Amino acid sequence: MKLKLISNSSSQTRNIGEKIGKVLNKGDVLGLTGNLGAGKTTMIQGIARGLGVDSKQYVRSPSFVLAHQYEGKFPVYHMDLYRLNTKEIADLDCEEYLFGEGVCIIEWIEKMHKIPAREWLHINLDFLPAENARKITIEAKGKYGKLLKSFADNI
């Protein structure tokens, strides 16, 4: 299942993220793709809000820390692979995040050539010509199809 949405502002992107966050379950894996500044971290702020993460636990682009952890309904692990090279990514030991008790959200997931989780929810953000406009494509395979349907029913 594939869903395409248009967002016209960062707050709209956060609100879409929040609705996604509300339907997530323990163990879910999300992969975000899109160019620099497209709005991946902005979307994750909303997803974290939907998962009950207090906004005081500021969600930002992780810089030198591999994984940020936030406490919501369940733990939320936020990883950003942008600054890692191919070897560092291949050596990543992220099983505990991917198959743990929380929700794992990975920015720049396309840099991972081998993704340990077979299924994940793919969220892509693209710039559109109008300022502040973004195309958001959400693609769900396997068990995520049901999740995306419940999101789509409530949008």
Which residues contribute to the site for ligand ATP (CB under 6 A)?
7-10, 12-13, 34, 36-42, 61, 82, 107, 132, 134
Residue whose CB is less far from ligand ATP, 5 or 115:
5
Q: Which residue has the tokens 């692990």?
A: 77
Residue whose CB is less far from ligand ATP, 37 or 116:
37
Task: Answer with the entry of ligand ATP, Mg ion, none that 42 interacts with (C-beta below 5 to 8 A by kind).
Answer: ligand ATP
Residue 71 belongs to what H/E stretch? strand 67-71
Total count of residues recorded for the chain: 155
Site for Mg ion in 8-67 (CB under 5 A): 40-41, 61
How far apart are the C-alpha atoms of 92 and 59, rounded to whole Å? 22
Planar angle of CA 152, 54, 116, nearest 5 degrees: 60
| Interface residues toward Mg ion, by CB under 5 A | 40-41, 61
